[in-house]
């Protein structure tokens, strides 16, 4: 049966239909507008987000530059290790269980590691294991297609083919910390990056640090790798760039000779090229194990090193401060001659005792040396001669000449932590201790005792100053910089810090005197440093650690080791045309002639033997 609507009902129905039509059209328009916004206006944005769900970026760590000696022998290189990192967004519990088994750990430990790592994005890799074993690597690689979100990173670690012979010079690395990451000097560094902490690793950080690369991979919805590149997205990998190679002035052979000599001993040895300041050897004993700092250093290892009673982390060559003993007599002789308080012909008496005030000062030779000239006093190392010279000079004039030789001042060597030693003055004592200088203190300082302190590196400046005519050069460790192609991009030039020559007569007399100390039968180093291969000039030194009258009648080998004197020897070679200067310190070694001079002789003979072999000519000054 047909149903007829009234005109009023028909109009109402038509109005409802029109509203539905309007709403439908409006909804369709909004939908089309949204499609247009997403596809046209924001198409690139959403395309990138979609691609990012398929793309994973992994850093490719750059190798640090090499450190090698002057002959090209590698002191520090890199070895490949393997790390495991994960993408949190792609990780699942099944992967955690499998990965823990492959890495010989527990799922709980992996969860704990992940919880401790800072995260900026769920798509940024998080390092969970460093330097895994070959067996662990093989297990992970074999099952990689089943491990969603797991990535193997090749990580270059430092390696030391020459061992510890240059430990204090090259230094070590450690991970950058949170405070450093916020500093402008470390812009471009990220959490986990390694940073030079000591030695040349620290000083040459900008040269040695390479530029990390970027590895792009595509994954499926489960985060499993599909392709090793992102070519379909027009994204290219960025290869890493290795750091630059720094060639040093060091001679690895000399370093090794020093290391062998110092087995079981503490001290330092320095060899300088006197006309340029190049450091041919700089060894501190005991050395520390550089391998302990490869990767992450365990807390117990670091604690043991810091609490080591022998202070193996201390670079004694630049930061050990010691009384120089009789080596300092060379400063007194130069000052006395230049200031006119003595002349080459002046003779001063030594009876073995020298009363001054209410104290009696003694010479090392119990019954004295008799009447000596300054040359004879240096050759035989007479204490009382230099007590008298020191008394005539006064401490302030002594300090002036010590400073001219480079003592009491920074040498400006390119290593962190250098100490300046101490050359006292009347003003220094008043300011530091609040009391006046006593004349008797000058006598102690005159033979390198009392307040006087020098580093082994500074001690090497004394013969260098005499040998090169009065110049103090900045000790130079860097020789050249080479890029990754082996091309020299920079050469380091000598830097003269000061030039205050002695008079020719004073210099000639002192060179003659230190030559006699080694080659004259009365010289203190005649039996230990004289060489039939190269003529050596030098000066011994025995520095008292503390005043111990109760041990004065005991043989030196019966004195407790910690109370024995420090042994010094400084030298020039060849004596007739000096090229190199040497300083050797043996802590608690006893006498400089027996404990320190033999190493100086070894180093000098080795240097000239090598030069003769490579140049095909005999060393100058050969006797």
> What is the model's pLDDT at position 49?
46
- Kind and range of the H or E element at 574? none
Q: Which residues contact 24 (CB under 8 A, 6 or more apart)?
A: none
> Would you say residue 48 has pLDDT above 60?
no
- pLDDT tens-digit map of 349-399: 999 999 998 899 999 999 999 999 999 999 999 999 999 999 999 999 999
| Distance from chain centroid for Cα 343 | 45
pLDDT at 480 over 80: yes
The kind and range of the H/E element at 193 are: none
State the Cα–Cα distance between residues 393 and 328, nearest whole angstrom: 14
Mean pLDDT value across residues 210-235: 63
Query: For residues 426 and 451, is the Cβ–Cβ distance under 8 A?
Result: no
Kind plus residue range of the DSSP H or E element containing 445: helix 439-446
- Any idea how long the chain is? 623
As a whole number of angstroms, the distance between CA 196 and CA 240 comes to 19
Which residue is associated with the tokens 């550089």? Answer: 290
pLDDT tens digits along 424-440: 999 999 999 999 999 99
Please check the confidence at residue 548 and state whether its pLDDT lies above 60.
Answer: no
- Give me 454's structure tokens: 């020098």
Q: To which residue do tokens 């030695």 refer?
A: 199
Per-residue pLDDT tens for 150-191?
888 888 899 999 999 999 999 999 888 878 887 888 888 877
DSSP state of 532: S
| Angstrom distance (rounded) from CA 43 to CA 75 | 54
CB atoms within 10 A of CB 186: 16
User: Into which CATH architecture does domain 55-121+130-248 fall?
Assistant: Alpha-Beta Complex (3.90)
Q: Which residues of 473-504 are buried (b: 16+ CB within 10 A; e: fewer)?
A: bbbbbbbbbbeeeeeeeeebeeeebeeeebee
276 pLDDT higher than 50:
yes
pLDDT in tens, 437-474: 999 999 999 999 999 999 999 999 999 999 999 999 99
pLDDT tens by residue, 598-613: 999 999 999 999 988 8
Q: How far apart are CA 464 and CA 457, in angstroms?
A: 11
Q: Where are the domains of the chain?
A: 55-121+130-248, 252-289+319-615
H-only helix segments in 37-106: 43-52, 93-102
Q: What per-residue confidence (pLDDT) applies to 279?
A: 98
Helices 395-404, 329-339: inter-axial angle, 10-degree rounding: 110
Q: At what angle do helices 504-519 and 456-468 cross, to 10 degrees?
A: 120
Cα distance between residue 319 and residue 605, in whole Å = 27
Q: Which of 544, 545, 542, 549 is nearest to 569 (CA)?
A: 542
Domain made up of 252-289+319-615: CATH architecture: 3-Layer(aba) Sandwich (3.40)
User: Could you tell me which of 205, 216, 417 has the C-alpha nearest to residue 321?
Assistant: 417
Task: Report helix, strand or coil for 409.
Answer: coil
421 pLDDT exceeds 90?
Answer: yes
For every residue of 315-360, DSSP letters joined together read -HHHH--B--GGGGHHHHHHHHHHHTSS-TT--EEE-SEEEETTEE
């Amino acid at each position: 049966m047909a149903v007829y609507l009234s005109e009023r009902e028909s109009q109402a129905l038509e109005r409802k239909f029109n509203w539905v039509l309007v709403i439908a059209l409006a909804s369709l328009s909004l939908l089309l507008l949204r499609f247009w916004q997403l596809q046209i206006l924001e198409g690139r944005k959403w395309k990138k987000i979609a691609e990012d769900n398929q793309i994973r970026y992994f850093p490719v760590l750059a190798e640090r530059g090499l450190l090698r000696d002057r002959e090209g022998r590698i002191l520090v290189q890199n070895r490949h290790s393997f790390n495991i990192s994960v993408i949190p967004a792609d990780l699942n519990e099944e992967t955690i269980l499998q990965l823990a088994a492959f890495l010989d750990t527990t799922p709980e430990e992996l969860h704990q590691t992940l919880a401790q790592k800072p995260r900026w994005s769920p798509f940024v890799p998080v390092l969970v294991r460093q330097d895994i074993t070959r067996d662990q690597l093989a297990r992970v690689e074999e099952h990689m297609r089943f491990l969603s979100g797991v990535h193997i990173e090749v990580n270059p670690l430092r390696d030391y083919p020459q061992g510890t012979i240059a430990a204090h010079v090259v230094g070590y690395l450690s991970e950058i910390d949170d405070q450093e990451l916020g500093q402008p000097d470390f812009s471009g560094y990220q959490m986990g990056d390694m940073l030079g902490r000591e030695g040349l690793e620290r000083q040459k950080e900008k040269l040695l640090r390479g530029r990390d690369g970027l590895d792009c991979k595509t994954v499926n919805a489960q985060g499993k790798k599909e392709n090793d590149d992102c070519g379909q997205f027009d994204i290219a990998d960025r290869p890493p760039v290795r750091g630059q190679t720094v060639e040093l002035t060091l001679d690895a052979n000399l370093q090794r000779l020093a290391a062998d000599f110092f087995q079981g001993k503490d001290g330092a040895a320095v060899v300088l090229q006197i006309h340029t300041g190049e450091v041919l050897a700089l060894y501190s004993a005991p050395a520390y194990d550089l391998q302990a700092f490869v990767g992450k250093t365990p807390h117990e290892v670091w604690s043991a090193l810091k609490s080591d009673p022998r202070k193996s982390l201390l670079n004694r060559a630049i930061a050990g401060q010691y009384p120089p003993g009789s080596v300092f007599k060379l400063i007194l002789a130069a000052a006395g001659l230049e200031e006119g308080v003595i002349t080459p012909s002046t003779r001063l008496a030594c009876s073995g005792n020298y009363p001054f005030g209410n104290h009696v000062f003694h010479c090392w030779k119990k019954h004295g040396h008799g009447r000596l000239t300054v040359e004879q006093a240096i050759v035989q190392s007479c204490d009382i001669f230099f007590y008298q010279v020191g008394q005539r000079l006064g401490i302030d004039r002594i300090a002036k000449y010590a400073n001219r030789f480079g003592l009491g001042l920074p040498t400006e060597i390119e290593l962190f932590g250098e100490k300046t030693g101490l050359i006292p003055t009347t003003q220094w004592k008043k300011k530091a201790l609040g009391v006046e200088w006593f004349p008797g203190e000058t006598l102690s300082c005159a033979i390198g005792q009392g307040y006087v302190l020098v580093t082994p590196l500074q001690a090497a400046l004394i013969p260098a100053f005499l040998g090169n005519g009065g110049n103090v050069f900045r000790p130079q460790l860097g020789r050249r910089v080479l890029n990754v192609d082996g091309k020299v991009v920079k050469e380091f030039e000598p830097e003269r810090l000061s030039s205050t020559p002695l008079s020719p007569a004073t210099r000639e007399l002192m060179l003659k005197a230190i030559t006699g100390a080694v080659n004259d039968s009365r010289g203190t180093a005649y039996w230990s440093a004289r060489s039939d291969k190269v003529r050596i000039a030098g000066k011994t030194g025995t520095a008292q650690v503390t005043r111990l009258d109760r041990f004065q009648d005991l043989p030196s080998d019966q004195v407790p080791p910690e109370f024995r004197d420090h042994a010094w020897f400084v030298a020039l070679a060849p004596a007739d045309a000096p090229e190199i200067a040497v300083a050797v310190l043996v802590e608690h070694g006893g006498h400089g002639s027996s404990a320190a001079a033999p190493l100086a002789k070894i180093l000098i003979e080795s240097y000239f033997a090598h030069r003769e072999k490579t140049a095909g000519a005999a060393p100058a000054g050969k006797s």
